[in-house]
Amino acid sequence: MTDDEYGLTEETAGAPGDEFEEIDVRDTEADKIARTKDREFAEFRKRLKDTEQFKLDDGAFDDATYAAIYKLVEDDHVGAMGGPISTGKEANVYEALDAEGGDVALKVYRINASNFQQMRAYLEGDPRFEGLRGDKKAVVLSWTRKEFSNLRRAKAAGVRVPAPLAVQRNVLVMELIGREGDAAPTLSDVDIENPQIAYEVVREYVRRLYDAGLVHGDLSEYNVVVYEGELVVIDVGQAVTIHHPNSATFLERDCRNVANFFARQGADADPDDLLSYVHEHATPRAEADTAAGDRDGTEGSLDRGSDADDA
- DSSP per-residue letters across 122-143: HHTT-GGGTT---SHHHHHHHH
Spatial distance between the Cα atoms of 55 and 48, rounded to a whole number of angstroms: 7
Residue 264's contacts (CB-CB under 8 Å, 6 or more residues apart) are none
Q: 24, 27, 218, 270: which is the annotated catalytic residue? A: 218
Helices (H), 163-264: 195-211, 247-264
Cβ atoms < 10 Å from Cβ of 98 = 18
Number of residues that this document lists for the chain? 311
First to last CA, the chain: 32
Query: What is d(CA 63, CA 47) in angstroms, rounded to the nearest whole number?
Result: 13
If one counts every other C-beta atom within 10 angstroms of the C-beta of residue 177, the result is 21
Active site residue 126: no
> Which amino acid type is present at position 139?
V
**Catalytic residue flag (residue 211):** no
Q: Which of 235, 273, 294, 303 is catalytic?
A: 235
Nearest to 92 by CA among 127, 45, 50, 57: 57
Backbone angles phi, psi at 268, to 5 degrees: -85, 90
8-state DSSP, 11: P
Distance in angstroms (rounded) separating the CA atoms of residues 144 and 226: 24
Q: Are 239 and 215 in contact (CB under 8 A)?
A: yes
- Indicate the residue type of 104: V
Print the SS3 string covering 66-103.
HHHHHHHHHCCCCCEEEEEEEECCCEEEEEEECCCCCE
Contacts of 222 (CB under 8 A, 6+ apart): 186, 187, 188
Please give the positions annotated as active site: 218, 235
